[in-house]
Structure 1
Amino acid sequence: MFDHLKLLRCFSFTASRDWLFKQSFSNAGLRSVTTDLSHGNPLASTSMHCWIPKSPNRSKPNLLLLHGFGANAMWQYGEHLRAFTGRFNVYVPDLLFFGLSSTSEPNRSESFQARCLMRLMEAHGVERMNVVGISYGGFVGYSLAAQFPEKVEKIVLCCAGVCLEEKDMEDGLFKVPNLEEATGILIPQTPEKLKELIRFSFVKPIKGNVYGVCRGEERFDQINTQRS
Structure 2
Amino acid sequence: MQGQSEASPSPPEVSWWSRYTRWRQTSKIEGKSAEQRLLDLAGTKLVTSDVHLGPTDQHYMHTIEGGLPKAPPIVCIAGYGAGAAFFFRNMAGLASAFKLHAVDLLGCGMSGRPPFRAHSTSQAEDFFVDSLAQWREAQGLDRMILVGHSLGGYLSACYALRHPEHISKLILVCPAGVAERPADWQPPESMRNFWTVRGQLYRASLRFWDLGVTPGTIIRGLGPWGPRLISGYTRRRFHEGQPMTEPELAAFEEYFYHITADRGSGEFALRHLLGPLAWARNALEARLHELKVPYRNCPDMSRQRLSGRHRNKERLRFLLFQVSVVPHAGHYPFLDQPQNQYQNMPDEHWETSNE
- Kindly indicate whether residue 161 of structure 2 is the aligned counterpart of residue 164 of structure 1: no
**Superposed displacement of residue 18, structure 1:** 3.0
> Which runs of 4 or more aligned residues in structure 1 lie more than 6 Å from their structure 2 counterparts after TM superposition?
217-221
Residue identity (%)? 23
**Other structure's SS at 1:52 match:** strand
Structure 1 gaps of 5+ residues are 1-13, 205-213
Which secondary structure state, in structure 2, belongs to the residue aligned with residue 137 of structure 1?
helix
Q: May I ask how many residue pairs the two structures share in their alignment?
A: 199
Three-state SS of the structure 1 residue aligned to 2:178 is coil
Aligned residue for 1:21?
38
Which amino acid in the other structure matches residue 60 of structure 2? S
Q: Is the 8 A contact 1:185 1:194 kept in 2?
A: no
How many Å separate the matches in 1 of 2:231 and 2:216?
A: 12
Matched, 1:69 2:86: no
Q: Distance in 1 between matches of 2:34 and 2:59?
A: 27
Q: Is the 2:82–2:256 contact (alpha carbons within 8 Å) kept by the matching residues of 1?
A: no
Q: 1:226 — aligned with what?
A: 262
CA distance in structure 2 between the aligned counterparts of 1:91 and 1:17, rounded to whole angstroms: 19
**Quick check: 1:81 aligned with 2:98?**
no
AA at the equivalent of 1:100: M
1:56 counterpart = 2:69? yes
The DSSP-based 3-state class of the residue aligned with 1:97 is coil
Q: CA deviation at 1:165?
A: 2.6
**8 Å Cα contact 1:50/1:91 also seen in 2:** yes
Deviations 1:46-72 (A, max 9, x none): 111101247621xx2110001111121
Structure with more strand by fraction: 1
Match of residue 146, structure 1, among 161, 166, 169:
161
Pick the structure with greater CA Rg: 2
Q: How does 1:1-228 map to 2 (within 5 A)?
A: 18-24=35-41, 28-38=44-54, 41-42=55-56, 45-53=58-66, 56-57=69-70, 60-74=71-85, 76-107=86-117, 109-167=124-182, 170-171=186-187, 186-187=215-216, 189=218, 190=222, 201-202=237-238, 222=258, 226-227=262-263
| Cα distance in 1 between the residues matched to 2:64 and 2:254 | 26
Structure 2: how far apart are the matches of 1:84 and 1:53?
A: 9
| SS of 2:97 mapped into structure 1 | coil
RMSD over aligned Cα, in angstroms?
Answer: 4.2
Aligned to 1:10: none
The whole-number CA distance in structure 1 between the counterparts of 2:230 and 2:132 is 29
- Whole-angstrom distance in 1 between the partners of 2:39 and 2:102: 12
After TM superposition, the score normalised by the length of structure 2 is: 0.46
